[in-house]
Amino acid sequence: MIRYDKARAAAEAFCARLGEKKPLVMGVLNVTPDSFSDGGLFAAPAAALAHARDMAGAGADMIDIGAESTRPGFAPVDEDEEWARLEPVLGPLAEATPIPLSIDTGKAGVARRALALGCAIVNDVTGLRGDAEMAAAVAESGAALVVMHNPGAADPARDIVADMIGFFEDSLDLAARAGVEWGKIILDPGIGFGKTLQQNLAALAGVATLREHFELPVLIGVSRKSFLGALTGAPVEARLAPTIAANLAALARGAQIFRVHDVADHVAAIKIWSEIVRA
């Protein structure tokens, strides 16, 4: 029987912070050779651990670790390959990092192994649709869960906000039937997944509707994504300002967690935004 004591305790502490309603920054750590922005940069365990320490020092509230790219046209990997990329980093990181760790995977087997090491959050880009065991894996561990809207191929005729609501209602039903705690669920509009440029913008603008409808925290992942390049003409390495602008717009609409590559810049931007609002 797998013991999840560390994961459960870390998830409880993380969800207590969520309850404070303050913005939180999630640092991205890709241990992949082919991610669109930083593929290969942190595939070596020493580089990955150093980057994780840097993000924690820059003010990240949690770190999201992924070992399978989800960029357009990505090459899927099997569970053994995904875990072979994760294990050399995840074990030492779980021991050394005081902030919560999130596992970015659509595979229940990978999630279970990561949770056994102490990860507090499962970030499932399939919205519980990719692996029938995922909801049960989250429930039995007591972890927090990020459910992402991922409708498949883009359809320009789709009412994206209505589609998100229907998709999330179905995913939340799957979670509830498995026993996932409602207070540990986070919604992600899935910017860049199955959406046209205009639908990405509508999804960001629809954050307030999601918050009102579900009364659950919302996570935004727009960091360096292609729709920002389509709007500005900026290459991947020059999309920091567009990323911050999109995240602050979502923050104003009620989003709480921001999944980013550039942690220090977002910590500073959110601090200034928060101080102005507080004043």
184 is catalytic: no
Give one DSSP letter per residue of 90-133, joined into a string: HHHHHHH--S-EEEE-S-HHHHHHHHHTT--EEEETTTT-S-TT
**Out of 158, 259, 271, 278, which one is annotated catalytic?**
259
Query: Which amino acid is it at 265?
Result: D
Q: What angle do CA 22, 226, 166 make, to 5 degrees?
A: 60
**CB 124 within 8 Å of CB 106:** yes
**Out of 225, 239, 271, 278, which one is annotated catalytic?**
225
Q: Using CA atoms, how far apart are residues 237 and 220, in angstroms rounded to an integer?
A: 19
- CA–chain centroid gap for 184, Å, is 14
**CB 180 within 8 Å of CB 171:** no
The CA-atom distances, in angstroms, between 239 and each of 27, 46, 88, 131, 132 are 16, 27, 31, 33, 36
Q: Using CA atoms, how far apart are residues 268 and 261, in angstroms rounded to an integer?
A: 14
13, containing H or E segment: helix 5-18
259 is catalytic: yes
What are the residues facing 220 on neighbouring strands?
258
Query: For residue 102, how many other CB atoms are within 10 A of its CB?
Result: 29
Joined tokens for residue 195: 């959406």
Residues involved in catalysis: 225, 259
